[in-house]
Amino acid sequence: MLAPLNKNRRKFLQTTTSAAAATLFPFSSVKANDTKSSNDRPSFGAIGLRNQGWAITRSALAAGADVVALADVDSNVLGVAADKMVAGRSRGKSEAEREKIKKPDTYKDYRSILERDDIDAVLIGTPDHWHTKIAVEAMYSGKDVYCEKPLTLTIAEGKLIEKVIKETGRIFQVGTMQRSQKLFLQAVALVRSGRIGDIKKVTCGINGFPGSPEIPVASVPKELDWDFWLGPAPKVDYRALPELREGYGGGVPLYSNGHYSFRMWHAYAGGKLTDWGAHHVDIANWALGFTETGPSKITPLDFEMAVEHKDGYPVVDNRYNCAAKFKIQVDLPNDVEMVITSEGDNGILFEGTKGRFFVNRGRIAGKPVEDLETNPLPEGALEEVYGGPLVGNHVKNLINGMKTRTQPISDVWSHNRMLEICHLSNIAMRLNRPLSWDPDNRTIVGDEVASSFMSREYRKGYEIEM
């Protein structure tokens, strides 16, 4: 069970005076090593450091931030991350200089980072079920936030984060970094400039995720605080098979209900729909201009859950339980049809009255793209989509927003509108029926059971501190 945050500090940081101070002095003037800041190098704390958590930490360092504190519930991952930071800072230095290099402070409890006055922002790279609690408490503690996608585990959590941003005035970047990548900016510019006419259909290929064998109860690794890892999720036994998947921080079980495999369990994530879907559905929605609205209907055309479900819940607890295969139809405004599928190429296919093209992280292809050789997009078209000069580094885009106190390119509001499509798709498959959605009120229409899946109860002792 977690100790409460310093409530007096939180109350102070919610005052108008505190908000004004954050605007005038966006970066801390004193860092953890007691040296004066030049005010252009914000201090970050990184929370959750395996795989993508370490990737965004490296991005922050490359963007010119000082990462002064690290937190992870796995002591091995935490130690490896601290050592790698020291090794990076030591390159090209003399032995005398290396001896003076300070390791980042390390903690198991992320709240130790939130309590510090010398940290401007946090990077959240934990499993999805922790995102909202940490993000909300970070904002109330006066921190700006970079949070990995998908931002939330439920639709209600997204609405809560929007509310807290308005209350605190914090700057918040979601980790949908494809918005900072040139190929996707070009795709958005092609659609917005009318190069393929009126959009009729967009297909988001996001691949499937195979189910698992039966995963037995196992001994918790000595380096892992399993209860803390579960956090707001229900208390369950740790499960794992001995076969390992190599990765950052050492090998982890190929099949488990933690570590890498968390994405395939309802209690912690939303499978591929909120993993890759949070990337490609986001770009599609952004290009179509549907960032302030949503679908009218979600229909699961064909799908396969990893295990049998009854009333929306898995009937066994020893195997992955999210959707393994799927084809979802999404009815969008202006009679645009979106299909989200686990089949075919990973990427986005835009189809309009004047042509079609495909884009993913490796290529953009189709006749409208070929036509750019003789009829290029206007100068500055990509910058117009991005809202300023292209920076490539998604954390750098957050830092620029922290300086100007403006929301960055992957804002919470448009992310939530997109993610609602992904969450609704998962609910529709769990219940095996279409869902009608009211995009104005952001509610499921006429289905109380489905509506109950829009929120979740937090485990006692791990509730969000408001």
Q: Quick count: other Cβ atoms within 10 Å of Cβ 203?
A: 22
pTM: 0.93
Q: Residue 229's Cα: distance from chain center in Å?
A: 18
Determine the CATH number of domain 7-175: 3.40.50.720
pLDDT of amino acid 430: 98
Reading the block at residue 387, the tokens are 């809202």
Query: Order of strands, edge to edge, in the sheet holding 121-124?
Result: 105-107, 66-71, 43-47, 121-124, 144-147, 172-174
Q: Quick count: other Cβ atoms within 10 Å of Cβ 217?
A: 12
11: left (phi over 0), alpha (psi -120 to 50) or beta: alpha
d(CA 376, CA 66): 40
For residue 359, give the DSSP letter.
Answer: E
Q: Can you give the three-state secondary structure of 113-140, one letter per residue?
A: HHCCCCCCEEEECCCHHHHHHHHHHHHH
With CA atoms as reference, report the closest residue to 267 among 314, 308, 233: 233
Q: Are residues 273 and 339 in contact, defined by beta-carbon separation less than 8 angstroms?
A: no
Q: In the chain, what are the domain boundaries?
A: 7-175
pLDDT of amino acid 245: 76
Q: Which residues of the chain have pLDDT under 70?
A: 1, 3-26, 28-39, 247-250
pLDDT of amino acid 7: 52
Q: Are residues 253 and 242 in contact, defined by beta-carbon separation less than 8 angstroms?
A: yes
pLDDT of amino acid 34: 37
Interacting residues of 92 by C-beta distance below 8 A, sequence separation 6+ = none
Q: Residue 285's Cα: distance from chain center in Å?
A: 16
pLDDT tens sequence across 247-291: 665 678 889 999 889 999 999 999 999 999 999 999 999 999 999
Whether the CA torsion 121, 122, 128, 130 is positive or negative: it is: negative
